[in-house]
């Protein structure tokens, strides 16, 4: 488990460092991070859908083994929870963006920081 954490940190640093060296200001840095997160959201949602269908396949293909069917039900349930949480958060963030008139393309940077770096 410890090796997995170290590998994740090293991989994350290897991906983020080149992207952050191109970012000149805080606004550019926030835009880089925003672009990375926006690219990962559909991937994570697709993984949750695949987990659900994996559980469904386990449930349907193991109709004779009750413990395998139970495991399939649990995997389907976790997939549904993951999809629900992601779509709910997506909706809440969208409502907040529309309420506060926040454009999703521009990061919010305080004026003090903008004056100092622009």
pLDDT at 93: 84
Mean pLDDT of 20-42: 73
Any idea where the domains of the chain sit in the sequence?
Answer: 2-117
Q: Collect all residues with Cβ–Cβ distance below 8 Å to 53 and sequence separation of at least 6.
A: 79
Of 8-17, 91-100, 107-116, the range with the highest mean pLDDT is 91-100
Distance between CA 15 and CA 37 in Å, rounded?
13
Half-sphere exposure of 52 (CA within 13 A, CB side): 13
CB contact at 8 A, 40 and 50:
no
Is 115's pLDDT higher than 60? yes
pLDDT at 59: 93
Mean pLDDT of 56-69: 92
Choice between 92 and 7, residue whose per-residue pLDDT is larger:
92
Distance between CA 74 and CA 81 in Å, rounded?
11
CB contact at 8 A, 31 and 118:
no
């Amino acid at each position: 488990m410890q090796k997995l954490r170290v590998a994740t940190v090293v991989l994350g640093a290897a991906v983020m460092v080149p992207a952050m060296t191109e970012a000149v200001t805080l606004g550019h840095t926030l835009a880089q991070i925003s672009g990375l997160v926006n690219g990962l959201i559909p991937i994570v949602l697709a993984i949750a859908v695949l987990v659900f269908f994996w559980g469904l396949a386990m449930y349907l293909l193991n109709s004779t083994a009750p413990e395998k069917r139970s495991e399939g039900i649990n995997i389907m349930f976790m997939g549904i929870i993951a999809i629900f949480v992601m779509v709910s958060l997506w909706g809440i963030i969208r409502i907040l963006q529309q309420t506060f008139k926040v454009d999703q393309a521009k990061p919010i940077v305080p004026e003090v920081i903008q004056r100092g770096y622009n």
